[in-house]
Amino acid sequence: MIEYSICIKDGKVTGDSTFYLLADTALSKECERLSSFADALDKDSSRKKECIVDYKCAKYRYATVSLIHSLVRNNNRLRKSHNLETSFYLMETFNEILAGHTEYFELYKSAPANEKPDFSMYYGILAFIEKELSILENDLHNANDFEKIELEERLDGLKFATVCLDEAWKRRGEVIK
């Protein structure tokens, strides 16, 4: 085991945490897989016509996985240049995101100081995903058949991103003293 991979100075993060690296890698691989599949079909119009449903599903899923991937990457970038509690790569502040998630906020508050950046990123993005899942599930009830396909793929993309984040969160603990 090694020491925690980031440190905080003046509210800013130095280094990339194991959690960030694991989450970024997993989400990157899925984005690349979906993008490569769609790109290959874009280059072969006859095959694209045959696989149009798979193509559209990959595009819809890519949209949500890449959204979460960009949140992870941009939060990591922002926490290196700004105070992590006041700068969060979402329209809402960290406190607003976790307002309805007292259990997440309590875990964050009780975390060791050098782990707070990862706690804020993980639980903040989980809260965002839960909110998005709720919205999409609500929309699914009123959707027509075509819209349901898109919404189901977006839901699956968010669920996959959650699994990636959860795995990264569990595995990050393996390297912390």
Q: Is residue 177 part of a domain?
A: no
Q: Label residue 93 exposed, middle or buried (CB < 10 Å: 0-12, 13-18, 19+).
A: middle
Q: What integer pLDDT is reported at residue 58 of this predicted model?
A: 94
Q: Is residue 83 part of a domain?
A: yes
Residue 135 Cα distances to 68, 94, 102, 132, angstroms: 16, 20, 20, 5
Dihedral class, residue 46 (left if φ above 0, else alpha if ψ from -120 to 50, else beta): alpha
Q: What integer pLDDT is reported at residue 160 of this predicted model?
A: 96
CA distance 62 to 64: 6
Q: Is residue 165 part of a domain?
A: yes
First to last CA, the chain: 6
Q: What integer pLDDT is reported at residue 90 of this predicted model?
A: 59
Range of the domain at 21: 16-172
Q: Give the tokens for residue 13.
A: 């993060």
Q: Is residue 6 part of a domain?
A: no
Q: What is the mean pLDDT of each run of 10 residues along the chain (177 residues)?
A: 58 76 95 96 94 93 95 83 60 72 87 84 90 94 91 96 96 70
Q: Give the tokens for residue 159.
A: 């669920």
Q: What integer pLDDT is reported at residue 158 of this predicted model?
A: 97
Q: Is residue 98 part of a domain?
A: yes
Tell me the whole-structure pTM to 2 decimals.
Answer: 0.86
CA distance 106 to 142: 36
Residue 57, CA atoms < 13 Å, CB-side half-sphere = 9
Q: What integer pLDDT is reported at residue 1 of this predicted model?
A: 38
Q: What integer pLDDT is reported at residue 83 of this predicted model?
A: 62
Q: Is residue 8 part of a domain?
A: no
Q: What integer pLDDT is reported at residue 116 of this predicted model?
A: 82
pLDDT per position as a tens digit, 152-161: 999 999 999 9
Q: Give the tokens for residue 157.
A: 């993309």
Q: Is residue 103 part of a domain?
A: yes
pLDDT per position as a tens digit, 36-75: 999 999 999 999 999 999 999 999 999 999 999 998 998 8
Q: Is residue 11 part of a domain?
A: no
Q: What integer pLDDT is reported at residue 172 of this predicted model?
A: 86
Tally of structural domains, the chain: 1
Round the CA-based radius of gyration of the chain to a whole number and report it: 18
CA distance 24 to 122: 12
Largest CA distance in the chain: 57
